[in-house]
Amino acid sequence: MSSPHPLPQRFAIGYHPTMAEAPLVAEAVQQFLERQGYAVVICAPLPSLRQHLQAGQADVLIALGGDGTMLRAGHVCAPLHIPVLGINLGRFGFLMEVRQDEWPRRLPLLLSGQYWLEERMMLTASHLRGEQVLGEWSVLNEVVVCRGQIVRPVRLTATVDGYPLSTYIADGLIVATPTGSTAYALAVGGPIMPPELRSILIVAVAPHLSMDRAVILPPESVVTVTVQSSHQAVMSVDGQPPLPLENDDVVRVQANHNTVQFIRFQDRGYFYRNINAYMELNPAAMDNE
């Protein structure tokens, strides 16, 4: 483990708003910290914490939930440079650092500075219609451009730095971070990328007579995906509800200047140990977290 980090003094505890046990565990964590003498401990459902965090009221966010909770925490904390510690209350918890039954043993490591920060790359996705930017989002896992409710492949043209890459006839196209390489991209046969890499992954979903190999790009690359379809296409960022796309709409993806900082106690080889264990699980069959 690397040398100790600065000792956090102010804590925010954000929990999944619909998990029945989450408020109880959050209250127990809050009481633990207060018994250690920490006077500033903000505890609330994660969506309610944004203003407190933006006001600089916390040095660390402790996120209680599953991987979806960790994604949402990362989106809030990345631009504020606030590190996130995940306590897993879900079933999968690939991004989480601490199991529910072990947080009383792990939190003292955080309080004594015995942790390291794992920085994970983010992307920026923009939706363009002609010269107009209709929306822009930060991305921790992936942005997906895919077919809508009509069960037919869509035609998508991808470029890299303005140069043609390929035209895909497919159910969709995923542009992912290394973090996202173990999410949807893995499910469609993409490569597993270590989380500390700074690379952009492109992989097609069910390509038909199209490029069926994943492409890994350097972080300086700018990827555009242009919709060329006579029927509905949509885009989704980090699993959020899909947004409709029109023919000739463009989704532009490039590296985000922010990174997410995850607090880790395990040694840096944890990822390779965990990937084997988690590959035996089926997160698609589990509850949404």
Q: Is residue 56 part of a domain?
A: yes
Residue 1: what pLDDT? 46
Q: Is 142 part of any known ligand binding site? A: yes
243 lies in the same domain as 154? yes
Q: What's 42's domain CATH number?
A: 3.40.50.10330
Domain count, the chain: 2
User: Two tokens at 66?
Assistant: 């599953």
Q: Is 288 part of any known ligand binding site? A: no
Residue 280: what pLDDT? 64
103 lies in the same domain as 180? no
Q: Is residue 87 part of a domain?
A: yes
179 lies in the same domain as 280? no
221 lies in the same domain as 143? yes
106 lies in the same domain as 137? no
State pTM to two decimals.
Answer: 0.92
248 is catalytic: no
Q: Is 240 part of any known ligand binding site? A: yes
84/263 Cα distance (integer angstroms): 6
Q: Cβ atoms within 10 A of the Cβ of 111, count?
A: 18
**Domain residue limits at 71:** 10-115+265-285
233 lies in the same domain as 276? no
Q: Is residue 16 part of a domain?
A: yes
252 lies in the same domain as 273? no
Residue 274: what pLDDT? 82
Q: Is residue 2 part of a domain?
A: no
Angle between helices 22-35 and 103-111 (to 10 degrees): 40
Q: Is residue 232 part of a domain?
A: yes
Catalytic residue among 67, 101, 238, 267, which?
A: 67
163 lies in the same domain as 242? yes
102 lies in the same domain as 155? no
Q: Is residue 92 part of a domain?
A: yes
Q: Is 289 part of any known ligand binding site? A: no
Extract the runs of DSSP E, i.e. beta strands, from the chain: 10-15, 40-45, 60-65, 84-88, 98-99, 116-129, 132-139, 142-147, 154-160, 163-170, 172-176, 200-205, 215-217, 222-227, 233-237, 243-245, 250-264
25/83 Cα distance (integer angstroms): 20
Among 192, 4, 5, which residue's Cα sits nearest to residue 94? 192
Residue 231: what pLDDT? 87
Q: Is residue 3 part of a domain?
A: no
Q: Is residue 30 part of a domain?
A: yes
Q: Are 64 and 13 in contact (CB under 8 A)?
A: yes
85 lies in the same domain as 104? yes
Q: Is 213 part of any known ligand binding site? A: no
Q: What's 210's domain CATH number?
A: 2.60.200.30
Q: Is 141 part of any known ligand binding site? A: yes
235 lies in the same domain as 269? no
Q: Cβ atoms within 10 A of the Cβ of 83, count?
A: 20
Q: Is 162 part of any known ligand binding site? A: no
Among 260, 147, 262, 159, which residue's Cα sits nearest to residue 207? 147
104 lies in the same domain as 210? no
Q: If you ran DSSP here, which 8-state letter would residue 17 be given?
A: T
pLDDT in tens, the chain (289 residues): 444 677 999 999 999 999 999 999 999 999 999 999 999 899 999 999 999 999 999 999 999 999 999 999 999 999 999 999 999 998 778 899 999 999 999 999 999 999 999 999 999 999 999 999 999 999 999 999 999 988 999 999 999 999 999 999 999 999 999 999 999 999 999 999 999 999 999 999 999 989 999 999 999 999 999 999 888 999 999 999 999 999 999 999 999 999 999 999 999 889 888 887 766 655 554 554 5
